[in-house]
């Protein structure tokens, strides 16, 4: 059976090479490509995606999977071969449902939409983006029909990002979370004036910001010999291979945390990618268990580590080094409070960890309404703005800081946003488990000692790649499935101290 | 027949998209890729090249070419369709000879060699590169056997870069050129002390150099909305599409002309690419007639325009702007003399336009000797150094400034170097034709008026793409084939005035 398995591996490694190439083209498109290149780039990416899809879904792939599946499972559930075949079969069964011309059409639509979105956001012109959003919505509905679903088309899409999750499963989780957060937010807002972040506002040279975030990413363990950090409109992480995992960040000249925490967030994702075992590279086992689990890594580093007091104690001398004179009169406690200021925000990626999940709630509602035909694209900005008022008591002055703020829809992704909240929940579960496994881990960042934390994540999460489904992975490594309580407990404990309630 | 032609166009446009993707991966590899990414990148590029090759050489491609060829020729020799089919058949007949596994092996070997070359050059360690060179040599010999040749394996390789050229054709041309240059070089060397380039040496901030060369490239017509300029170890130009043609340059902190003329050279290539008609994009008509014709564009801008006195008059205020204080006491005539200083040089790309062709002579000799089995790889550095003494009276102190200086062999290219000299010869022929067609064109650069020159090149060269073979193109547009005299006349006229003989 071994030769057939090798044949399958060769085939899927070629598919991975094609996908890796498409990822490079997409990275370049978002980071360095001149505007004139967009049209041909769209065609090139579409061609690669179609080629990869055709090659992956060829009947011989299915045949090789069928022929080797039982043999591989016989080698033990946790073996490389058994895990490889489980992941390959999952992906194949999904992919084989999508006709090649649909994949091509989807890819052309998103290529055009990315460009249109960037322009629409720059001009705050939702109408210019609306036809693209409509097209993306229609294609997602067709996609949901192709995959099939029971209760809502949303379920078919959600499952692509968080295998096993459904709208019906999410609703009670969101409810519990929202109800747990509400009283906390109320307490915070009642003391809104007591915490300021003025000390992280001002005029920060952008080259110095880039030097700072490169230093921070390197310190927490991001390997620059196997990656690089650039700038893009929306920060992202992309894996070309285990040994080339790239991140991007953005800089706001007048607001330092955007670059710092954007960068730590992406580095958190990238540590997962760089931690993939070498023999998983260019196989279906490379990558994260799910987007939720992936997000648990970025949020863990960004918030639970990066916004802790010990981390701020380590960070302060770095700020003084990169911005001479600006932080001389600040102490670490003041920095800690400033980077944890909680207040309603227009922009999801700039939102604090308390309010953040309400941004996801809004997107969850708008996407389900669009997909279930309860909301028209033309009415979406009004829906968005109404929810902003309901949840946060604020209204976007323009769509650029409202419905046009996220790149996800133009990338074709609907049903993706909930994974952010799942990531927040899991990150708090990871921290609770670390409390048991690594005595004193929370104080280690103070001395720049991130290695034991990374080693724990490498062992329990990164090294598993896509061997297990998310719920399975959590149960194996944490001894429990998804839970809301650790996150609520973490938030309440932290913010009651900061805001004094 | 039209539907079959459309079918062929669709197929070849997919091949072009794959090749475009491979070009992006290769650009990234040389410009931004972290070192860890090399292995997977090699695999990804190989996969794309194999895919492109398999798709292009599929029997259906040949069948469609056969079925539409006569129909297309019936539409007139100069028609899009007739030219398309001629180029497609030429490429197909060549490509179909190469087995897919050979293409893959070649690609893997060159990926490894690029990395090995960069390290070997950094350490000046020829022995570390020798096994790679041997492998490249063996693969080139196999390639020559696959294509077939009459007199020398060199002919089969040369024909890939300069269709129709042979070693036997080049030898008398080189002889005439060398004998014409010898007395000029003798006169120059006898007056070696009379010309200095000290004013372009010193300490030039590298960011300022990049800003300068961006301004120069833009001024001569390079369109930054359809391209960009980055840094790499060896400057190059790469076309992802008609609307995304990128150049790279390098900066020497202590020697300004390296960046200026490296950049003008690559911009000259890129103007050719950006001048390709839009409907040639992703077809076999995109690209240059040959590497020799391509090089005629880069050398025309670099030397005939860029190293002229009117250009120096325009350049001087730019130098003063980007390097305040450094050029206050210099006049344009002094700058002109400095950038035209002629002296033996170790490095081909830093060599002046008089000595340059002897560097090509050396490479022509070493490559033919290697390919004809008259020289062993291990003995190549000694051969190189002996020829350097013969031609220039100088010996490289280390292989990094000798046999390891060029990237070409590691890219798999043998038989490529002569095209540089062909480019020099053609560039002088273009200038003679412009004398007749554009009165006073030589003085136009003084006022930054490059548009009439570019328009002439657009009309006579760029807009033709790959419609005609090089010799055919020259006869159509210049009314003559390749000639040595215009170049010799240009050199003698220019340097006798500069050196006073």
The residue whose two tokens read 């890594």 is: A297
Position B206 scores a pLDDT of 96
Tell me how long chain B is: 501
Please judge whether B22 and A22 are an interchain contact, meaning their C-beta atoms are less than 8 angstroms apart. Answer: no
Q: Which residues of chain B have pLDDT under 70?
A: none
CA distance A54 to chain B (A): 12
Pairing of strands A237-241, B229-231: unpaired
Q: What is the mean pLDDT of each run of 10 residues along chain A (501 residues)?
A: 94 97 96 95 91 94 97 96 97 90 88 93 97 98 96 96 92 91 91 93 96 98 98 93 97 95 97 97 97 98 98 98 96 97 90 94 95 97 94 92 95 96 98 97 98 98 96 95 95 97 93
The Cα B216–Cα B318 span in angstroms is 9
Q: Are A339 and A303 in contact (CB under 8 A)?
A: no
Give the end-to-end CA distance of chain B in Å, rounded to a whole number: 64
Query: Which tokens in the block code for residue B477?
Result: 């547009």
Q: For residue B221, which of B290, B151, B127, B297 has the smallest C-alpha distance?
A: B297
**Using a CB cutoff of 8 Å and minimum separation of 24, what contacts does B325-328 make?**
B326/B202, B326/B204, B327/B199
Which residue is associated with the tokens 């990822």?
A23
- Assess contact for A462 and A275: CB atoms under 8 A: yes
**DSSP code of A491?**
H
Neighbours of B78 (CB within 10 A): 11
- 10 Å CB burial of residue B140 (0-12, 13-18, 19+) is buried
Question: Which of B481, B490, B375 is closest to B424 using CA atoms?
Answer: B490
Which of B28, B228, B244 faces A24 most closely, judged by CB atoms?
Answer: B28
The count of residues in chain A is 501
Residue B410: strand, helix, or coil = coil
Q: For residues A94 and A279, what is the distance between their CA atoms, to the nearest angstrom?
A: 24
Of B308, B301, B271, B304, the closest CA to residue B288 belongs to B271
Q: What pLDDT, on the 0 to 100 scale, is given for residue B101?
A: 83
Enclosing H/E stretch for A238: strand A237-241
In contact, A298 and A269? CB cutoff 8 Å? yes
Please, what's the b/e burial string for B184-216 (b: 16 or more CB within 10 A of its CB; e: otherwise)? bbeebeeeeeebebebbeeebeeebbbebbbeb
**B225 touches A: beta carbon within 8 Å:** yes
**B165 alpha carbon, distance to own chain's centre:** 16
A228–chain B Cβ distance below 8 A for any pair: yes
**Partner residues linked to A245 by β-bridges:** A239
Quote the CA–CA distance of B479 and B494 in Å, as a whole number: 25
Of B310, B287, B230, nearest in space to B262 by CA: B230
Site of tokens 């910001």: A209
Q: Do A240 and B51 touch (CB under 8 A)?
A: no
φ, ψ of residue A461 to 5 degrees: the values are -120, -60
Comparing CA positions, the residue from A42, A39, A12 lying closest to residue A25 is A42
| β-strand partners of B237 | B247
CA B428 to CA B142: how far, in whole Å? 36
**CB–CB contact B44 A20 (8 Å):** yes
Structure tokens at B157: 């390789």
The verdict on a CB contact (< 8 Å) between B224 and A48 is: no
ipTM of the complex: 0.87
Q: Which token pair is B428?
A: 């002088």
Instruction: Say which of A162, A266, A295, A302 is annotated catalytic.
Output: A266
- β-partners of residue B255 are B201, B252
Torsion sign over Cα B496, B497, B500, B501: positive
CATH 1.10.1370.30 fits A192-356+416-499, yes or no: yes
Candidates A36, A56, A104, partner chain B, best to mutate (most B CBs within 10 A): A36
Locate A5 and state its tokens: 């398995």
* Virtual torsion, Cα B147, B148, B153, B154, nearest 10 deg: -60
Question: Is A240 touching B (CB cutoff 8 A)?
Answer: yes
- Which token pair is B309? 């006195």
State the pLDDT at residue A360.
Answer: 96
* pLDDT score, position A145: 96
Name the residue in chain B with its Cα closest to that of A46: B17
Å from A278 to nearest chain B CA? 11
Residue B251 to chain A, least CA–CA distance (Å) = 20
| Chain B residues within 8 A of A22 when measuring between CB atoms | 21
Instruction: Measure the CA–CA gap between A438 and B233, rounded to whole angstroms.
Output: 46
Of A94, A167, A163, A80, which is closest to residue A471 (Cα–Cα)? A163
CA B217 to chain centre: 17
Tell me how close the Cα of A138 comes to any Cα of chain B, in angstroms: 26
The answer for B 308-347 residues in CB contact with A (under 8 A) is: none
Contacts of A14 (CB under 8 A, 6+ apart): A55, B47, B51
pTM of the predicted model, to two decimals? 0.90
Distance CA(A178)–CA(B466), nearest Å, equals 64
Stretch (H or E) spanning A248: strand A244-249
* B48 with A22: Cβ contact below 8 A: no
Size of interface A-B (CB pairs under 8 A): 129
- In B, minimum Cα distance to A36 occurs at B226
- Partners of B249 in the β-ladder: B231
Instruction: Please indicate if any CB of chain B lies within 8 Å of the CB of A477.
Output: no
Contact assignment for B242 to A44 by CB distance below 8 Å: no
User: Could you tell me if A225 lies within 8 Å of chain B, comparing CB atoms?
Assistant: yes
Contacts 24+ apart (CB under 8 A), A485-490: A486/A425, A486/A428, A486/A429, A486/A431, A486/A432, A487/A177, A487/A424, A487/A425, A487/A427, A487/A428, A487/A429, A488/A177, A488/A180, A488/A181, A489/A428, A490/A304, A490/A428, A490/A431
Q: Active site residue: B50, B162, B266, B302, which one? A: B266
Integer angstrom CA distances of residue B241 from A230, B245, B259: 24, 7, 25
The answer to whether B41 faces chain A, any CB pair under 8 Å, is yes
Name the one residue in this structure whose structure tokens are 């690594």.
Answer: A438
Q: State whether A20 and B40 contact (CB < 8 Å).
A: yes
Question: Is A207 part of the contact surface with chain B (CB cutoff 8 Å)?
Answer: no
- Residues A197, A341: Cα–Cα separation, whole Å: 6
- Range(s) of chain A covered by CATH 1.10.1370.30: 192-356+416-499
Mutate which of A13, A21, A33 to test chain B, going by most B C-beta atoms within 10 A?
A: A21
d(CA B23, nearest CA chain A) in Å: 10
Quick one: pLDDT at residue A350? 81
Q: Which residues contact A7 (CB under 8 A, 6 or more apart)?
A: A64
Which residue, among B23, B40, B58, B225, would best test binding to A if mutated, counting the most A CBs under 10 Å from its CB?
B40
- A21 touching B (Cβ < 8 Å): yes
Is B227's Cβ below 8 Å from some Cβ in A? Answer: yes
Q: In this structure, are residues B232 and B30 in contact, taking their beta carbons and an 8 Å threshold?
A: yes
Report in angstroms the alpha-carbon separations of A406 from A366, A376, B465: 13, 19, 41
d(CA B499, CA A140): 72
On the 0-12 / 13-18 / 19+ scale of CB atoms within 10 A, B290 is buried
Sheet holding B237-241, edge to edge: B229-231, B244-249, B237-241
A14 an active-site residue? Answer: no
CATH architecture of the domain covering B167-499: Orthogonal Bundle (1.10)
Of B47, B48, B226, the CB nearest to A34: B226
Residues 270-289 of B with CB under 8 A from A: 281-282
Residue B130's CB: how many other CB atoms inside 10 A? 18
User: Which among A343, A352, A337, A345 is positioned nearest to A199, based on CA atoms?
Assistant: A337
Q: What is the pLDDT of residue B99?
A: 86
Beta-bridged to residue A231, according to DSSP, are: A249
Whether B18 and A51 lie within 8 Å, measured CB to CB: yes
- The reply to whether residue B48 touches residue A228, judged by beta carbons under 8 angstroms, is no
């Amino acid at each position: 059976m071994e030769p057939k398995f090798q044949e399958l591996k060769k085939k899927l490694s070629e598919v991975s090479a094609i996908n890796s190439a498409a990822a490079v083209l997409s990275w370049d498109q978002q980071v360095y490509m001149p505007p004139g290149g967009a049209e041909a780039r769209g065609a090139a990416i579409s061609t690669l995606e179609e080629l990869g899809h055709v090659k992956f879904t060829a009947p011989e792939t299915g045949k090789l999977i069928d022929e080797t599946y039982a043999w591989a499972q016989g080698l033990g559930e946790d073996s490389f071969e058994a895990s490889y075949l489980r992941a390959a079969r999952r992906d194949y069964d999904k992919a084989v449902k999508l006709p090649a011309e649909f994949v091509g059409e989807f890819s052309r639509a998103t290529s055009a939409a990315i460009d249109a979105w960037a322009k629409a956001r720059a001009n705050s012109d939702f109408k210019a983006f609306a036809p693209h959003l409509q097209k993306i919505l229609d294609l997602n509905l067709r996609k949901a029909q192709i995959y099939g679903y029971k209760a809502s088309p949303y379920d078919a899409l959600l499952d692509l990002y968080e295998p096993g999750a459904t709208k019906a499963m999410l609703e009670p989780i969101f409810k519990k979370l929202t109800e747990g957060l509400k009283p906390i937010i109320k307490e915070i807002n009642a003391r809104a004036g007591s915490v300021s972040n003025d000390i992280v506002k001002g005029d920060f040279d952008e080259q110095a910001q880039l030097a700072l975030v490169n230093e921070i990413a390197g310190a927490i363990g991001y390997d620059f010999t196997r990656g690089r950090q650039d700038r893009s409109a929306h920060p992202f992480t992309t894996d070309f291979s285990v040994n080339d995992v790239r991140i991007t960040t953005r800089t706001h000249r007048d607001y330092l945390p955007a670059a710092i925490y954007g960068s730590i967030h992406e580095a958190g994702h990238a540590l997962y990618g760089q931690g993939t075992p070498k023999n998983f590279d260019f196989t279906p086992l490379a990558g994260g268990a799910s987007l939720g689990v992936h997000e648990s890594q970025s949020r863990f580093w960004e918030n639970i580590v990066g916004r802790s007091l010990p981390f701020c104690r380590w960070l302060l001398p770095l700020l003084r080094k990169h911005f001479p004179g600006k932080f001389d009169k600040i102490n670490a406690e003041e920095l800690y409070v400033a980077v944890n200021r909680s207040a309603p925000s227009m922009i999801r990626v700039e939102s604090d960890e308390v309010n953040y999940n309400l941004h996801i709630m809004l997107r969850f509602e708008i996407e389900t309404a669009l997909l279930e035909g309860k909301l028209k694209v033309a009415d979406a900005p009004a829906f968005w703005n109404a929810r902003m008022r309901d949840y946060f008591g604020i209204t976007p002055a323009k769509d650029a800081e409202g419905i046009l703020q996220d790149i996800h829809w133009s990338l074709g992704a609907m049903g993706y946003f909930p994974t952010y909240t799942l990531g927040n929940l899991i990150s708090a579960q990871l921290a609770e488990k670390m409390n048991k496994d690594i005595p004193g881990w929370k104080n280690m960042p103070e001395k720049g000692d991130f290695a034991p934390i990374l080693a724990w994540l490498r062992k329990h999460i990164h090294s598993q790649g896509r061997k297990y489904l998310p719920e399975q992975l959590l149960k194996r490594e944490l001894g429990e499935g998804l839970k809301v309580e650790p996150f609520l407990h973490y938030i309440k404990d932290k913010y009651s101290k900061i805001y004094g309630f």
